[in-house]
A and B are shown apart, each in its own frame.
Chain A
Amino acid sequence: MIVAREVKFSYEKLLVLKGIDVDVVRGEVATLLGPNGSGKTTLLMCLCAILKPLTGCVYVNGREITKIKRGELAKMLGHVPQGHRPPFPYTVIDVVVMGRAPYIGAFSMPSKRDFEIAEKALEIVGIRHLKDRVYTQISGGEMQLVLIARALAQQPQVLLLDEPTAHLDFKNKILVLKVVKNLAKKENLAVIMSLHDPNLAAMFSDKVYLIADGVIVDRGEPSKVITRENLKRVYGIDVNVIEHEGTRFVVPVLE
């Protein structure tokens, strides 16, 4: 569904992505895992054509992404930004209905049907009851869900999330990632997200791309990728990997 081939990217002269390949199909959750500054966010921005790769290509549904018009791309690919504060206190439903923008002409307003689709999106992520609340007055976890619902209102086949768990508490991290995983299965979306925490990556991904310094160190099922050796290589710390009821947990070794 979404494929990257040999993507390289540089800011000025600093090469940030050094030839990256990604393949994600519908119904699959892929996680980009890696330390700060490894190139996760840059890669996500290349995958949604906000940044243009130096060399290499990104394909969505077999088409080269730079050849797809913005308006059309927005119907194929939804992007969930990191939690943010918008300048105006719009209501939740008004924020979500903005996801209908690619379907609405420059001089038109969202129709009743657009509001229905937006409400459905809120229902899918389980926060329909927040619809008339003010977006800037809800919790961080709820905000993240609103932004996911907004991306869903675009009715995309690919969903990209930039650190969806940043600044969330323990419970909200789990809540948001459960929603994301469910979406991939039930709405048959190809999902790519970036995460910091190897444990959350192991719990909620079908596939992990371990990234360090602009290259993919390892890729595949979490159980194959999240290993002692790999984490030592990427993060430079010693860890133990424990298995509990089929799930793997990473525990740092403290001396």
Chain B
Amino acid sequence: MKKLKLLVLAVLPIPAFFFSLVIGQFDIPPLTVYEIFFTKLFNPLISSPWPPAYEVVVWNIRLPRVLLALLVGASLSVSGTALQGLFRNPLVSPYILGLSWGANFGVALSLLIPLPFSPQFMAFSFGLLAVFLAYSIAKVRGETPVISLVLAGVIVSAFFTALQYIAKFFLDPQALQGLVYWMMGGFYLAHWDDVMVTCIPIIFSVVMLSLMSWRINVLSMGDAEAKMMGLNTELNKVVIIVLATVMAAVAVSVVGTIGWVGLIIPHLVRMAVGPDHRKLIPLSATVGAAFLLVADDLARSITTYELPVGILTTLSGVPFFVYLLKKTKGRSWS
């Protein structure tokens, strides 16, 4: 029974993937969708018996979007799980150290001043800059206590929020609208290039954090105890923060600041399988991937035009989370 639950959670992205491929405004029979997918996958050179538009929709529009949603979902969830474990705090998300506000400001800046960098690059670098600033502020005499890190994250977020408002003040209405859309996050511009750019850092970080998952157990006992069990806590902390930040920054730079996934999925998985990070990290990846993919399916199909998926992740996440919290009475945190 327990094993079955783990297995189901582990393979969840597979049915979600095949379900999502057939969803869309453009009406294509499901069987044709799968036929196109498998033919292109295994026999890309075969001449197609279906209309060329079908192939474009399935292979160049839906598939990259579905893959990107899987990658981003896995990224934000694993990042959140690793940081919650490291910080021993249930309110931690990938954005705790200022990543999202840094990224927002980076995009605002790129819209305000003509720069030789893409908005994606600006989001990525300012996201990382914010986290680096938070870490530097929290560091005292070679150590970074968790509480200082969280507070430094709050300070840095406030700083970049203010800067971002200044930038907004000078933006023309059209650019402002673009910024607002970006901040809500979505996959409407998903492209194969985005999948290519994000897949390597995200998969690398998921694998590395999965390998370090038992370490995160030990670190979650607190700095002093982890030290007495022989760990170089500062080095471990830096490695985990860098992996969790880079993977989330890559995701944010491509699809905007999608909220809640990195906060809620770690909790959901912890409630389902317990606190051991050896299971928690890899299953956060699979459950998070499936969750964001299905959320995006809804975003692009419940109305005639697209909703930003960030709104849906929050709206669908809240009641589910309340239900689980009531049911488990918060027992997955002691």
| Min CB gap A50→B, angstroms | 6
Number of B interface residues in the complex (CB < 8 A): 33
- The one of B212, B217, B232 in contact with A107, judged by C-beta atoms closer than 8 angstroms, is B212
Q: Do residues A98 and B334 form an inter-chain contact, with CB atoms below 8 A?
A: no
Name the residue on B nearest A78 (C-beta). Answer: B228
Fill in one digit per residue for A139-156: 1 if any B CB lies within 8 Å of its CB, else 0: 000000000001000100
Kindly specify which of B167-175, B219-227, B244-252, B296-304 makes contact with the partner chain. B219-227
Chain A contributes a number of interface residues (CB within 8 A of B) equal to 34
Considering residues A71, A79, A98, A99, which has the most beta carbons from chain B within 10 angstroms of its beta carbon? A98
- Can you report 6 residue pairs joining A to B where beta carbons are below 8 Å apart? A70-B232, A87-B220, A89-B274, A89-B275, A98-B229, A107-B211
| A87-B220, A107-B211 known; A102-B229 Cβ under 8 A | yes
Tell me if B48 counts as interface (CB < 8 A to partner A).
Answer: no
Q: Within the assembled complex, what's the spacing in Å between the Cα atoms of A98 and B225? A: 10
Task: Give the complex CA separation of A109 and B215 in angstroms.
Answer: 8
Give the contacts of B312-334 with A (CB-CB under 8 A): 331-334
- Indicate if B121 sits at the interface (CB-CB under 8 A): no
Q: Is B230 an interface residue (CB 8 A)?
A: yes
Given known pairs A107-B211, A108-B214, the reply for A154 and B229 (CB within 8 Å) is yes
Decide if B278 is an interface residue (CB 8 Å cutoff): yes
* Cβ contact within 8 Å between A70 and B217: no
A204 CB within 8 Å of chain B: no
* Residues of chain A with a CB closer than 8 A to B227's CB: 50, 70
**Residue A101 lies at the interface, judged by CB distance under 8 Å to chain B:** yes
Q: Which of A192-215 contact B (CB under 8 A)?
A: none
Q: Judging by beta carbons under 8 Å apart, are A86 and B334 in contact? A: yes
| Across the A-B interface, the 4 shortest Cβ-Cβ residue pairs | A74-B230, A102-B230, A88-B275, A136-B334
B35 at the interface (CB under 8 A from A): no
- Cross-chain contact B217 with A87 (CB below 8 angstroms): no
Q: Are B224 and A101 in contact (CB-based, < 8 A)?
A: no
A73 to B232, CA, bound (A): 12
Least CB separation from B333: chain A residue: A87
B230 pairs with A70, CB closer than 8 A:
yes
A129 within 8 A of B: no
From residue 61 to 89 of chain A, which have CB atoms closer than 8 A to chain B? 70-75, 78-79, 81, 84-89
Minimum Cβ distance to chain B for residue A156 (Å)? 10
Residues in B neighbouring A46, C-beta threshold 8 A: none
What is the CA–CA distance of A78 and B221 in the complex, to the nearest angstrom?
Answer: 15
Question: Which B residues are in CB contact (< 8 Å) with A6?
Answer: none
Q: Do A86 and B230 have beta carbons less than 8 Å apart?
A: no
Instruction: Answer whether residue B89 sits at the interface, using C-beta atoms and an 8 A cutoff.
Output: yes
Q: How far is the CB of B178 from chain A (nearest CB, A)?
A: 40
Q: How far is the CA of A115 from the CA of B274 in the complex (A)?
A: 19
Picked from A73, A88, A94, A109, the residue with its CB within 8 Å of the CB of B230 is A73
CA distance A91 to B273 in the complex (A): 12
B236 interface hit (Cβ, 8 Å): yes
Q: How far is the CA of A50 from the CA of B275 in the complex (A)?
A: 28
Residues of B within 8 A of A107 (CB): 208, 211-212
Task: Please state if A50 and B224 are interface contacts (CB–CB under 8 Å).
Answer: yes
Query: Does B155 make an interface contact (CB < 8 A)?
Result: no
Query: What per-residue 1/0 map shows which CB atoms of B195-235 lie under 8 Å from chain A?
Result: 00000000000001001111101101110111111111000
Q: Closest Cβ of chain A: how far from B249's Cβ, in Å?
A: 23
Minimum CB–CB distance from A72 to chain B (whole Å) comes to 8
Q: A interface vs B, CB < 8 Å?
A: 48, 50, 70-75, 78-79, 81, 84-91, 94-95, 98-99, 101-102, 104, 106-110, 136, 150, 154
Tell me if B276 is interfacial: C-beta within 8 Å of chain A.
Answer: yes
Across the interface, do A90 and B275 meet the contact criterion of CB distance under 8 Å?
yes
Q: Kindly state the separation between the CA atoms of A78 and B229 in the bound complex, as whole angstroms.
A: 8
Closest to A95 in B: B221
Residues of B within 8 A of A136 (CB): 334
Does B218 lie within 8 Å of A98, measured CB to CB?
Answer: yes
Report the bound CA distance from A11 to B76 in whole Å. Answer: 41
User: Do the beta carbons of B231 and A101 come within 8 Å of each other?
Assistant: yes
Per the bound structure, the CA–CA distance linking A110 and B334 in Å amounts to 24
Partner of A106, one of B89, B215, B226, B229: B215
- With both beta carbons as reference points, the residue of chain B lying nearest to A107 in the complex is identified as B211
Determine whether the beta carbon of B228 is less than 8 Å from that of A50. yes
- Report B273-309 residues with CB < 8 Å from chain A CB: 274-276, 278
Minimum CB distance partner of B207 in chain A: A107
Asked if B276 and A106 sit within 8 Å, CB to CB, the answer is no
- Asked if B88 is at the interface of the complex by the 8 Å CB criterion, the answer is yes
**CA of A88 to CA of B85 in the docked complex: distance in angstroms?**
9
Question: Is the CB–CB distance between A87 and B89 below 8 Å?
Answer: yes
**B331 contact set on A, CB distance < 8 A:** 89
Which residues of chain B are within 8 angstroms of A48 by Cβ–Cβ distance? 228
Please report the C-alpha to C-alpha distance between residue A71 and residue B229 in the assembled complex, in whole angstroms: 7
- Complex CA gap A110/B212 in Å reads 11
Pick the contact of A109 from B89, B214, B221 — CB < 8 Å? B214
Q: Please report the C-alpha to C-alpha distance between residue A45 and residue B276 in the assembled complex, in whole angstroms.
A: 29
Q: Which of A71, A87, A109 contacts B278 (CB 8 A)?
A: A109
CB distance from B312 to the nearest CB of A (A): 30
Closest-by-CB residue of A relative to B332 is A89
Measured between beta carbons, the chain A residues less than 8 angstroms from B88 are 86-88
With A70-B232, A71-B230, A154-B229 as known contacts, state yes or no: A88 contacts B334, CB within 8 Å: yes
Do A81 and B224 touch (CB < 8 A)? yes
**Known A50-B224, A70-B232, A74-B230; contact A98-B89, beta-carbon cutoff 8 A:** no
